[in-house]
Amino acid sequence: MFFHIVLERNMQLHPRHFGRDLRDKLVAKLMKDVEGTCSGRHGFIVAITGIENVGKGLIRDGTGFVTFPVKYQCVVFRPFKGEILEAVVTMVNKMGFFAEAGPVQIFVSNHLIPDDMEFQSGDMPNYTTSDGSVKIQKESEVRLKIIGTRVDATEIFCIGTIKDDFLGVISDPGSTS
């Protein structure tokens, strides 16, 4: 799920950046430091949309660096247990398949794939129904439900299922949408 929230961060700036472009340099450094990172609480910080407030700078003893508390608005992405997501399949093997929804990596084990789908090995490994009508392979889009999430410094991992109603393949990679 996406959120548009306000976060705060203390930015340290070297005195050589002081001058006319101080605020721009601060914002540029903020974007470089923060966009693309992950936190357990907020999830994946996708993009900074604006700066709400830059507080007064505090000179640090001994180093000369200055710390500015910055409040900024950003779009974050965080998967939740029970959430329904759409993802693109990246790898299929006998244990299940791996899919990606943006920065989130999801694993759907074959225990959570409907029983009527069988694994077929070969050049393009896939899961197919017995009548061949539904096929999950690399690049397929699937709708899945999140069963569990785990966040580390730069990545989010999830366990997913497609065993419920209305879950499964959205489109075939070969067909036009």
Partner 1 sequence: MHTCDLCACAMRVTMCNHGSSLKRNMCPHPGVYAGMCMRCGQEMDDEFGVAFGYIHKKLRLASDEISRLRDKDLKNLLRDRKLYLILDLDHTLLHSARLLDITVEEGYLHNQTDALPDNLKSSLFRVEWMQMMTKLRPFVHSFLKEASNLFEMYIYTMGERPYALEMAKLLDPGDNYFSSRIIAQGDCTQRNQKGLDVVLGRESAVLVLDDTEAVWGKHKDNLILMERYHFFASSCKQFGLNCKSLSQLKSDESETEGALPTVLKILQRIHRLFFDEALEDNLEDRDVRQVNLSQMAECTLSFLIKALVLKTVRKEILKDCKVVFSRVFPTNFPAEQHTLWKMAEQLGATCSTELDPSVTHVVSTDAGTEKSRWAVCENKYLVHPRWIEASKYTWQKQPEENYLVHAKNK
Residue type, 78: R
CA distance 151 to 156: 4
Q: Binding of partner 1 at residue 20 (CB under 8 A)?
A: no
For residues 107 and 42, what is the distance between their CA atoms, to the nearest angstrom?
21
Does 60 interact with partner 1 (rule: CB under 8 A)? Answer: no
Among 82, 166, 175, 176, binds partner 1 (CB under 8 A): 82
Q: Which is nearer to partner 1, 15 or 148 (CB)?
A: 148
Check binding of 150 to partner 1 (CB under 8 A). yes
- C-alpha separations of 140 from 22, 58, 94, 175 in Å: 47, 52, 17, 10
Q: Considering only residues 83-102, where is the footprint of partner 1 by CB under 8 A?
A: 91, 93-96, 98
Residue 152 CB, shortest distance to partner 1, in Å, is: 8
* 40-75 burial code (b ≥16 CB/10 A, e <16): eebbbbbebeeeeebeebeeeeeeeebebebebebe
SS3 115: coil
Distance in Å, CB of 20 to partner 1, minimum: 43
* Calpha distance 161→177 (Å, rounded): 24
Q: Do the beta carbons of residue 158 and residue 79 sit within 8 Å?
A: yes
- Least distance in angstroms from the C-beta of 132 to partner 1: 17
CB 93 within 8 Å of CB 125: yes
Q: Tell me: does residue 131 bind partner 1 (CB under 8 A).
A: no
Count residues near partner 1 (CB under 8 A): 26
| Residue 80 interacts with partner 1 (CB under 8 A): yes or no | no
Q: Per rule CB under 8 A, is residue 148 in the interface with partner 1?
A: yes
Select the residue interacting with partner 1 from 20, 56, 62, 123 (CB under 8 A): 123
Per CB under 8 A, residues contacting partner 1 are 81-82, 91, 93-96, 98, 105, 107, 109, 111-112, 121, 123, 145, 147-150, 157-159, 161, 163-164
